[in-house]
Structure formats: structure tokens, C-alpha cells
Amino acid sequence: SKVMLDLRKLSRADLDPELAPVSRFAHTIQLQRGDFNGNVLTIRGEDLRAMSVMFGTEPSELVVRLEDQGILAQV
Amino acid sequence: SKVMLDLRKLSRADLDPELAPVSRFAHTIQLQRGDFNGNVLTIRGEDLRAMSVMFGTEPSELVVRLEDQGILAQV
Ligand SMILES: Nc1nc2c(ncn2[C@@H]2O[C@@H]3COP(=O)(O)O[C@H]4[C@@H](O)[C@H](n5cnc6c(=O)[nH]c(N)nc65)O[C@@H]4COP(=O)(O)O[C@H]3[C@H]2O)c(=O)[nH]1
Ligand SMILES: Nc1nc2c(ncn2[C@@H]2O[C@@H]3COP(=O)(O)O[C@H]4[C@@H](O)[C@H](n5cnc6c(=O)[nH]c(N)nc65)O[C@@H]4COP(=O)(O)O[C@H]3[C@H]2O)c(=O)[nH]1
Ligand SMILES: Nc1nc2c(ncn2[C@@H]2O[C@@H]3COP(=O)(O)O[C@H]4[C@@H](O)[C@H](n5cnc6c(=O)[nH]c(N)nc65)O[C@@H]4COP(=O)(O)O[C@H]3[C@H]2O)c(=O)[nH]1
Ligand SMILES: Nc1nc2c(ncn2[C@@H]2O[C@@H]3COP(=O)(O)O[C@H]4[C@@H](O)[C@H](n5cnc6c(=O)[nH]c(N)nc65)O[C@@H]4COP(=O)(O)O[C@H]3[C@H]2O)c(=O)[nH]1
């Protein structure tokens, strides 16, 4: 299973400010790749783990939180 | 810089038999991704290092060898 971020949702002005780190992370990866499809970004399992550490949650917890916000889909 | 493999060259019947592990590695990655573009495969820096260990060479040495065979390009 892969973790796919919705870039359009992540770039909305009304994004929960606590989720700004996720938005910054996605943007950094886009730049590193030169990936400007602008709609979705699938990231590594290790990235989810790194982000969870940053949020002080379990990876599964962070997945649920981001799914609730419509930011993430597991595919 | 990224390491890009020429899948067409890798799948040729007259490929140097010693390079079969490279061909198998590329095929495995293609399956894991579901990436069937069939022409190029860009792999991770860590993959080049893993392959060099398997060949008992330095990464730079393996790059030169595969470049000479037209199998690899650094982009
Ligand atoms: N489909 C697919 N292709 C893969 C995968 N892993 C590596 N590649 C391919 O191999 C290239 C080099 O990967 P890298 O050395 O890890 O070098 C990568 C890596 O250091 C970083 N990066 C890119 N995407 C991610 C990501 O989602 N997470 C993390 N942590 N780093 C990433 O940016 C560098 C350049 O990325 P790219 O331009 O995309 O270039 C990537 C990409 O073409 C994979 O799991 N799936
Ligand atoms: N630009 C972009 N698109 C995304 C991303 N995540 C999902 N997609 C879209 O969803 C499909 C599955 O992507 P994937 O899991 O990365 O699986 C991809 C990936 O593993 C690989 N792939 C395709 N294009 C490239 C590429 O330019 N470079 C590398 N390194 N891998 C690629 O082939 C698989 C199938 O690709 P597609 O049939 O084109 O179809 C892709 C693409 O349309 C993303 O982070 N960036
Ligand atoms: N060593 C190695 N393993 C590879 C490579 N390509 C794919 N894999 C393995 O296959 C899994 C699925 O790859 P994907 O369908 O491209 O799905 C990938 C792809 O859509 C995206 N991704 C990850 N790293 C990169 C990257 O460096 N560049 C790009 N463009 N996309 C990446 O994130 C998804 C999940 O990545 P992972 O959780 O790491 O899970 C990856 C990884 O375990 C490779 O070149 N080298
Ligand atoms: N995870 C994921 N990332 C994607 C996908 N499509 C594009 N990307 C990302 O967006 C960058 C530009 O893709 P592009 O314009 O389609 O142009 C690509 C593509 O046409 C081709 N290419 C190079 N390596 C690969 C490969 O391993 N697989 C595929 N399918 N195409 C590749 O060369 C260009 C540069 O490739 P990259 O260095 O990999 O850099 C890719 C990759 O980082 C996707 O479906 N999933």
C-alpha cells in the first residue's frame, strides 16, 4: 500500500495550520524530483514514519488524521 | 545526478552474461512499481551502491562499466 497526498487540498489557504509541515514536505519532494503534475504525490513509507515522529504520533494515527482532512489516500 | 538504465539494451539476448544481475534487478523494480514504460528505469543512488557491493566494485567503477556497455546513463 502506498501513501498518496492530494496536492490541491494541501495547497488550500484554509488548510489546518498544524498541517503546514506536511505541505512543506510535499513541496520539497516535488522540487527534488521536478514533479509538477500538481495533483497527487505518492511518497515513501519511510517518509510517513518520519512525519509521524515529527508529529509525535504513530504512523497509523497520522494516516487517519490526514485521511479525515481529505489530504491522504492509501492506495 | 541520477542513474538511468536502458531497458532495451538490458533485455537484449546478447547482453554480457555477467550483467544478468543488473537485468534481474531492473525487472524486479519494474514489477514493484508497476512501471512498464519499457525504455528507461531511473533507480536510487542506494541501489547503485548495493549493486556495486554485489559486483565487488566501487560504485564509480560499476557506472563506467555499464556506461561502456551503453546500459547506463548518468542524468
Ligand atoms: N517510481 C519510483 N521511482 C523511484 C523510486 N525511488 C527512486 N526512484 C527513481 O530513482 C531516482 C533517484 O532516486 P534517489 O537516488 O533516491 O534520489 C531521490 C531522493 O533523494 C529524493 N526523493 C524523490 N522522491 C522522494 C520521496 O518520495 N521521498 C523521499 N524521502 N525522497 C524522495 O529526490 C531524489 C530525486 O528523485 P527523482 O527525481 O524522482 O529521481 C528518482 C526516481 O526517478 C520509487 O520508489 N518509485
Ligand atoms: N507525477 C506523479 N504521478 C503520480 C504520483 N503518484 C501517483 N501518480 C499517478 O498515479 C499512477 C501511479 O503512480 P505510482 O504509484 O508512482 O506508480 C508509477 C511509478 O512507479 C512509475 N513511473 C511512472 N512515471 C515515472 C517517472 O517519470 N519516473 C519514475 N521514477 N517512475 C515513474 O510507473 C508507475 C505507473 O505510472 P503511471 O501509469 O504514469 O500512473 C501514475 C500517475 O498517473 C506522483 O507522485 N507523481
Ligand atoms: N530500492 C528501490 N526500491 C524501489 C524503487 N522503485 C520502487 N521501489 C520499491 O517499490 C515500492 C513501490 O514503488 P512505486 O510503485 O514507484 O511507489 C513509490 C513512488 O510512487 C513514490 N516514490 C518513492 N520514492 C520516489 C522517488 O525517489 N522518486 C519518485 N519519482 N517517486 C518516488 O512513493 C511510492 C512508495 O515508495 P516506497 O514506500 O519506497 O515503496 C517502493 C519501494 O519499496 C527503486 O528505484 N529502488
Ligand atoms: N512517483 C511518481 N513520480 C513520477 C511519476 N511521473 C513522474 N514522476 C516524477 O516527475 C519527474 C518528471 O517526470 P516526466 O516529466 O514524466 O519525465 C520523466 C519520464 O519521461 C522519464 N523517466 C525517467 N526515469 C523513468 C522511470 O524510471 N520510469 C518512467 N516511467 N519514466 C522515467 O524521464 C523523465 C524524468 O524522470 P524522473 O527523473 O524519474 O523524474 C520524474 C519523477 O520524479 C509517477 O507516475 N510516479
Nearest ligand 3 atom, CA A2 = 35
Residue with cell 510517513: A48
**pLDDT of A46 over the 90 cut:** yes
pLDDT of residue A1: 87
Ligand 2 binding pocket includes B2 (Cβ within 6 Å): no
**pLDDT of B55 over the 90 cut:** yes
Mutate to test the pocket of ligand 3, among A1, A7, A42, A47 (most ligand atoms within 8 A of CB): A42
pLDDT of residue A74: 95
Average pLDDT, chain B: 96
| Ranges of each domain in chain A | 3-74
| Rounded CA separation B5/B63 (Å) | 10
Average pLDDT, chain A: 96
Q: A51, A25 in Cβ contact below 8 A? A: yes
pLDDT in tens, A13-43: 899 999 999 999 999 999 999 999 999 999 9
* Residues 6+ away with beta carbon under 8 Å from B72: B3, B4, B5, B6, B63, B66
| Rounded CA separation B52/B57 (Å) | 5
Nearest ligand 2 atom, CA A37 = 1
**Record: fold of A3-74:** Arc Repressor Mutant, subunit A (1.10.10)
Mutate to test the pocket of ligand 1, among B3, B35, B44 (most ligand atoms within 8 A of CB): B44
Q: Which ligand ends up closest to the CA of B41? A: 4
| Rounded CA separation B70/B58 (Å) | 19
